[in-house]
Amino acid sequence: MTVRHFLTLDDLTPDEFRALIARAIELGEMHRAGTVHQPLVGRVLAMIFEKSSTRTRLSFEAGMCQLGGDAIFLSPRDTQLGRGEPIEDTARVIGRMCDAVMLRTGPHGNVERFAEYAGVPVINALTDRCHPCQLLADMQTFFELHGDIAGRTAAWIGDGNNMCHSWINAARLLGFELRIACPGDFEPDNDILTRAGDAARLVDSPAEAADGADVLVTDVWASMGQESEQDHRSAAFRDFQVDGMLMARANEDAVFMHCLPAHRGEEVAAEVIDGPQSVVWREAENRLHAQKALLEMLLAR
In degrees and rounded to multiples of 5, residue 231 shows phi and psi of: -65, -45
Measured CA to CA, the distance from residue 155 to residue 153 in angstroms comes to 7
Measured CA to CA, the distance from residue 159 to residue 198 in angstroms comes to 20
Q: What is the pLDDT of residue 264?
A: 97
Q: What is the pLDDT of residue 225?
A: 76
Q: What is the pLDDT of residue 170?
A: 98
Measured CA to CA, the distance from residue 66 to residue 133 in angstroms comes to 18
Catalytic residue among 31, 43, 233, 287: 287
* Cα dist from 48 to 73, 282, 295, whole Å: 6, 25, 16
Q: What is the pLDDT of residue 197?
A: 97
Q: What is the pLDDT of residue 230?
A: 83
289 is catalytic: no
Q: What is the pLDDT of residue 131?
A: 97
Please calculate the CA angle 232-126-270 and round it to the nearest 5 degrees: 55
131 is catalytic: yes
Catalytic residue among 5, 131, 165, 179: 131
CB 257 within 8 A of CB 155: no
Catalytic residue among 23, 66, 134, 241: 134
Q: What is the pLDDT of residue 81?
A: 74
Q: What is the pLDDT of residue 93?
A: 95
Q: What is the pLDDT of residue 149?
A: 98
Give Cα 209 to chain centroid, integer Å.
21
Catalytic residue among 152, 219, 233, 241: 219
- Listed in sequence order, the DSSP H helices in the chain are 14-32, 55-66, 87-97, 108-118, 132-146, 162-174, 190-195, 206-210, 230-236, 244-249, 270-273, 280-299
Half-sphere exposure (CA, 13 Å, Cβ side) for 162? 22
Catalytic residue among 18, 43, 104, 179: 104
Amino acid identity at 151: G
Q: What is the pLDDT of residue 152?
A: 98
Which ranges of the chain have pLDDT less than 50? Answer: none
Q: What is the pLDDT of residue 75?
A: 87
Full-model pTM:
0.96
How many C-beta neighbours within 10 Å does residue 229 have?
A: 13
The SS3 of residue 254 is coil
Catalytic residue among 138, 259, 289, 291: 259
104 is catalytic: yes
287 is catalytic: yes
Q: What is the pLDDT of residue 180?
A: 98
- Listed in sequence order, the DSSP H helices in 67-130 are 87-97, 108-118
